[in-house]
């Protein structure tokens, strides 16, 4: 079955909920094999009912102790998006200068161009979902810090897969959430709600295409790093 892709029905920005539900029945393996970061989005609106259905599926993901600390800020207001876009441009400006010397291939140049495009048009995304976690205490010991964010990861992947199934473009980024204090002020977050990542959502410019990934034999190590018996 690997590599087999079932033809997709057409989906448009005017898709009704029945059509969306039909698209959510995409085989899981197909969604996983064709999922990719889609950064170039149109300005066509994403209906609230569609977005809430995707977030409902995101919320079905497991969390530590079933505490369900996931919180989602859906940003639609242009002024708020502009403020997050400014943070995104500043963070990307720093990273771009660091990445620049290492960009050698055409694929790397295309990726850079896509992130450039997203930075320039970040505020144009119809919706930006900021995934957060609500914590019980103001600060955690370092050994536990990672467990807090870990409760949002499965939820975010559910959201990305559901977006892929219905034909929405999405890409996870942390750039508009730095510095964290400024991002928290923009979003009006209380002390015990921590932003983890942002996901611009919208209808893609173009179509989902094939993905390019390293073969599994190159990335699986057994017992110790460097032992790759499956090569």
pLDDT tens string 72-102: 999 999 999 999 999 999 999 999 999 888 8
Predicted local confidence at residue 67, as pLDDT: 85
Instruction: Tell which residue, 113, 135, 125, 100, has the closest CA to residue 176.
Output: 125
pTM over 0.75: yes
Q: Encoding tokens for residue 58?
A: 């995101």
Q: pLDDT (tens digit, 9 = 90+) per residue, 160-195?
A: 999 999 999 999 999 999 999 999 999 999 988 999
131, burial (CB in 10 Å: exposed 0-12, middle 13-18, buried 19+): buried
Contacts 24+ apart (CB under 8 A), 8-11: 8/167, 11/166, 11/167
Write out pLDDT tens, residues 128-163. 999 999 987 655 565 565 666 788 999 999 999 999
| 69 and 135 Cβ atoms separated by less than 8 Å | yes
- Please give the torsion angle defined by the CA atoms of residues 178, 179, 182 and 183, in that order, rounded to the nearest 10 degrees: 20
pLDDT at 210 over 80: no
Find out whether 89 and 119 touch, Cβ atoms under 8 Å. yes
* Location of structure tokens 């073969």: 215
pLDDT one-digit tens code per residue, 16-71: 788 889 999 999 999 999 999 999 999 999 999 999 999 999 999 998 888 888 99
Interatomic CA distance for residues 200 and 42, integer angstroms: 11
């Amino acid at each position: 079955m690997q590599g087999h892709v079932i033809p997709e029905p057409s989906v448009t920005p005017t898709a009704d909920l029945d059509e969306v539900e039909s698209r959510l029945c995409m085989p899981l393996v197909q969604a996983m094999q064709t999922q990719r970061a889609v950064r170039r989005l149109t300005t066509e609106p994403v209906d609230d009912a569609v977005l809430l259905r995707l977030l409902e599926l995101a919320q079905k993901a497991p969390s530590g102790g079933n505490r369900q600390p996931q919180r989602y800020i859906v940003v639609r207001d242009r002024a708020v998006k502009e403020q997050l876009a400014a943070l995104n441009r500043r963070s990307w400006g720093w990273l771009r200068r660091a990445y620049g010397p290492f960009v050698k291939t055409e694929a790397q140049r295309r990726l850079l161009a896509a992130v450039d495009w997203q930075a320039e048009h970040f505020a144009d995304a119809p919706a930006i979902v900021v995934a957060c976690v609500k914590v019980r205490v103001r600060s955690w010991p370092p050994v536990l810090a990672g467990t807090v964010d870990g409760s949002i990861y499965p939820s975010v992947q559910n959201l990305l897969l559901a977006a892929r199934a219905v034909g929405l473009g999405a890409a996870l980024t942390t750039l508009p959430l730095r510095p964290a204090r400024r991002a928290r002020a923009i979003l009006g977050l209380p002390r015990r709600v921590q932003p983890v990542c942002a996901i611009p959502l919208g209808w893609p410019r173009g179509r989902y295409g094939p993905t390019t990934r390293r073969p599994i034999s190159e990335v699986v190590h057994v017992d110790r790093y460097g032992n790759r018996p499956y090569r």
